[in-house]
Amino acid sequence: MTRAPVVVAVLLLAVACQKPVQPGDPLRGLSRAERDRFDRGKVVFDSVFTPETGLGPLFNATGCGECHENPAGGRGDEVEVHATAFHAPVCDPLAQEGGPVIQQHTTPLLKQALGIDQEPFPASATARAMRTSPVIFGRGLLDLVPDSVLLTYADPDDRNHDGVRGRPNRFVDGRIGRFGRKGFVPTLREFNAGAFAAEMSVTNPQQPTEEDVGGKPLPVGVDPAPDPEINQEQLDLTDDFVRFLAPPTPLKVGKDGRRGRDLFSQIGCTTCHIPTLRTGYSPVQTLSNREFAAYTDLLLHDMGPDLADICLGAATPADFRTEPLLDLRGAEHFLHDGRATTLEQAIELHGGEGSGARGRFKALAAADRAALVAFLKSL
Amino acid sequence: MRRTIRTAVLTAILLVPLVISAPADWGTLTSAQPAPSYTYQGTVRAVNARAGTLELITGVGMSLRVVRLKTAPTTRLVAAGASPRLADLKPGDVVRAEYRRTAAGLVADRVEKLEVGAR
């Protein structure tokens, strides 16, 4: 009988002393088999592709780890170029001219054949966008939030008159999207398979055809590797690695940070940056029915004309998906294109539906603004 | 009349060995030979009603492709409670197309315009 309190105390102590999750760590609670897939997936993620193993002939990076680095799954310093054409209300992702991702490099064989160093910028584009590489921690959790939950946060007609009109984006087939800066892609699995094809031109069972060059077929002989250039197992392992990357444990905050957290809510940031979301069922126990810190509603919001760039799906040029606030402590650049170098700048660049919260932030006393930023830096 | 019957019987006799020596799936190779049907679900990029063609944007993640479908006089077009014409489809519409691969390209058997929420 007298042992019970001691056992409870030891267990509580063990939980309290648990090592915090660092950027790049796997989720806690993975089975041995799942942890093995995480480790094997990391090998594919860190692979460097060559033309002989599938790279190119157009590409942005030679491997996933080139952009999501320090550690694997983290952010990189690469900035890529996207383009689409907006003919309101229709968005043309320029699939007939090579798609919205404009690859910045070519393999030697393609350069020799066409004399180009990068994919030609599409003539039909109405806008260009710059995109930094985000951290990809916690994406397995975001993937599992049911669409029905996102729709409960949507308010496209602003029925509550708070000036915020969250709405989901839609993929080309009409399904609700959530991944990417415009929330265009419905699932993590599709995002990963699409990234192999769009970023490295590594064909795979989900996208078995190579991209053409500005709508023209690839010259004969410039793509020596047979399609698909990776198999289903390599794709699945990479997907599991990304899926099992844990969101880092937030740093402990002091009194200022706690006040900053309260202010973050009081001035309305949590209307879009919803602090916690809950996953639905997953056969991976540690991902299933789990509440986690997300700070996003995964919905589109009009962020005003100053941030506007390209359309994508149902997203107009000014619409962006609420960015999940994960691993902000490690960030040196903020917003979708990295134009902000401090969190204060990032907040002050929120326009459109974010302008109310921005105004209230600017109206705070300097100490309160610093407290709010201190909280964000703990994430 | 008698001559006609005789011809029919002779023809049947000649055909019997051919039928019984045929491979087991001979029937499926001949009578049930429709090409397999596939499905694309994507956004309409362009419609050429005069040529009877339709371009769809499909793909996976950020890797998008255009597929070109032909329609035939037998192609069924369907929308919620209506039977639209090809010319009624416009860029931005989301459709599900059932199609077959033929020597002349991809031919749609059925094109259904989908109602997609809050676009």
Burial track A98-136 (b if 16+ CB lie within 10 A, e otherwise): bbbbbbbbbbebbbebbeeeebeebeebbeebebbbbbb
Distance between CA atoms of residues A18 and A33, nearest Å: 22
- A202 part of contact set with chain B, CB < 8 Å: no
- The answer to whether B108 touches B70, Cβ cutoff 8 Å, is yes
C-alpha distance from residue A172 to each of A190, A297, B65 (Å): 13, 21, 11
Residue-wise pLDDT tens digits, A62-99? 999 999 987 877 887 889 999 999 999 999 999 999 99
Which of A96, A170, A184 is facing B116, going by the closest CB pair? A170
Residue type, A283: P
pLDDT of residue B14: 54
Which of B65, B94, B118 is facing A209, going by the closest CB pair? B65
Q: Which residues pair with B71 in a beta bridge?
A: B108
- A181 part of contact set with chain B, CB < 8 Å: no
Determine the distance in angstroms separating the CA of A228 from the nearest CA of chain B, rounded to an integer. 14
Q: What is the overall mean pLDDT for chain A?
A: 95
| Tens of pLDDT, residue by residue, chain B (119 residues) | 556 666 666 565 555 544 444 444 444 444 556 778 999 999 999 999 999 999 999 999 999 999 999 999 999 999 987 889 999 999 999 999 999 999 999 999 999 999 987 44
Asked if A314 lies within 8 A of B119 by C-beta distance, the reply is yes
Distance between CA atoms of residues A269 and B110, nearest Å: 47
Give the residue-averaged pLDDT of A159-181: 97
- Residue (of A184, A178, A191, A327) closest to A250 by Cα position: A327
Determine the distance in angstroms separating the CA of B74 from the nearest CA of chain A, rounded to an integer. 24
C-alpha distance from residue A115 to each of A86, A105, A213, A219, A285 (Å): 30, 12, 12, 12, 52
Task: Give the model's confidence band at A142: pLDDT under 50 very low, under 70 low, under 90 confident, else very high.
Answer: very high
- The answer to whether A84 touches A132, Cβ cutoff 8 Å, is no
Residue type, A36: D
- The answer to whether A267 touches A364, Cβ cutoff 8 Å, is yes
Asked if A95 lies within 8 A of B119 by C-beta distance, the reply is no
What is the DSSP code (8-state) at residue A209?
Answer: S
- Helix extents (H) in chain A: 3-16, 32-45, 64-67, 108-114, 139-143, 147-153, 188-200, 232-243, 255-266, 343-348, 355-363, 366-377
Asked if A96 lies within 8 A of B42 by C-beta distance, the reply is no
- A101 part of contact set with chain B, CB < 8 Å: yes
* CATH superfamily, domain at B37-114: Copper binding periplasmic protein CusF (2.40.50.320)
Give the residue-averaged pLDDT of A357-369: 98
What is the DSSP code (8-state) at residue A269?
Answer: G
Provide, as residue numbers in chain B, all residues whose Cβ is less than 8 Å from the Cβ of A99: 59, 62-65
Chain B residues in contact with chain A using a Cβ-Cβ cutoff of 8 Å? 41-43, 45, 55, 57-66, 91-92, 94, 114, 116-119
Provide, as residue numbers in chain A, all residues whose Cβ is less than 8 Å from the Cβ of B59: 95, 99, 172, 194, 207
E-state strands within A153-199: none
Asked if A170 lies within 8 A of B60 by C-beta distance, the reply is no
Determine the distance in angstroms separating the CA of A250 from the nearest CA of chain B, rounded to an integer. 30
Distance between CA atoms of residues A263 and A360, nearest Å: 10
Long-range contacts of A64-69 (CB under 8 A, 24+ apart): A64/A195, A64/A199, A64/A200, A64/A238, A67/A133, A67/A199, A68/A133, A68/A135, A68/A136
Q: Of A14-28, A224-238, B75-89, where does mean pLDDT reach its minimum?
A: A14-28
CA quadruple A200, A203, A205, A207: dihedral, nearest 10: 80
pLDDT of residue A2: 60
Please count the residue pairs, one from chain A and one from chain B, whose beta carbons lie less than 8 angstroms apart: 89
pLDDT of residue A17: 65
- A299 part of contact set with chain B, CB < 8 Å: no
Asked if B119 lies within 8 A of A89 by C-beta distance, the reply is yes
**Residue-range domain boundaries for chain B:** 1-33, 37-114
**Is residue A46 classed as helix, strand or coil in its secondary structure?**
coil
pLDDT of residue B3: 61
pTM for this prediction:
0.89
Residue with token string 């100053």:
A306
Structure tokens at A178: 């959530």
pLDDT of residue A71: 84
Asked if B118 lies within 8 A of A168 by C-beta distance, the reply is yes
Task: Give the model's confidence band at A187: pLDDT under 50 very low, under 70 low, under 90 confident, else very high.
Answer: very high
